């Protein structure tokens, strides 16, 4: 899910609405992102977040979040 504009009002409201519409338990959701903003959104939604360093922010920058940071999406398979 993403925004259809350039304003920085965040994505948490979109995610929360999607979870509610689909009656999905937050404990069963993993947010996969590539920015520190994605961590903020996941935190606001009350869900876990893993970051991938192949996007907008460097691995070093993402590691400041104290979240798991992967080098690529393939590494997700090893986590499960």
Give Rg (Cα) of the chain.
13
Q: Write out the residue range of the structural domain in which residue 37 sits.
A: 29-79
Q: Tell me if 7 is assigned to some domain.
A: no
- The number of folded domains in the chain is 1
Q: Tell me if 23 is assigned to some domain.
A: no
Q: Tell me if 43 is assigned to some domain.
A: yes
pLDDT at 12 over 90: no
Mind listing the pLDDT tens digit for each residue in 16-52?
998 999 999 999 999 999 999 999 999 999 999 999 9
**Computed from CA positions of residues 16, 5, 32, 57, in that sequence, does the dihedral angle turn out positive or negative?**
negative
Label residue 7 by pLDDT band (50, 70, 90).
very low
Q: What pLDDT score does 9 carry? A: 56
Q: What pLDDT score does 11 carry? A: 76
Q: pTM of the full predicted structure? A: 0.80
């Amino acid at each position: 899910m993403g925004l259809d504009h350039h304003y920085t009002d965040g994505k948490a409201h979109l995610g929360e609405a999607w979870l509610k519409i689909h009656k999905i338990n937050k404990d069963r959701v993993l947010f996969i992102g590539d920015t520190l903003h994605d961590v903020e959104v996941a935190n606001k939604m009350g869900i876990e977040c893993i970051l991938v360093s192949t996007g907008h922010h460097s691995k070093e920058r993402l590691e400041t979040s104290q979240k798991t940071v992967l080098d690529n999406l393939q590494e997700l398979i090893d986590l499960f």
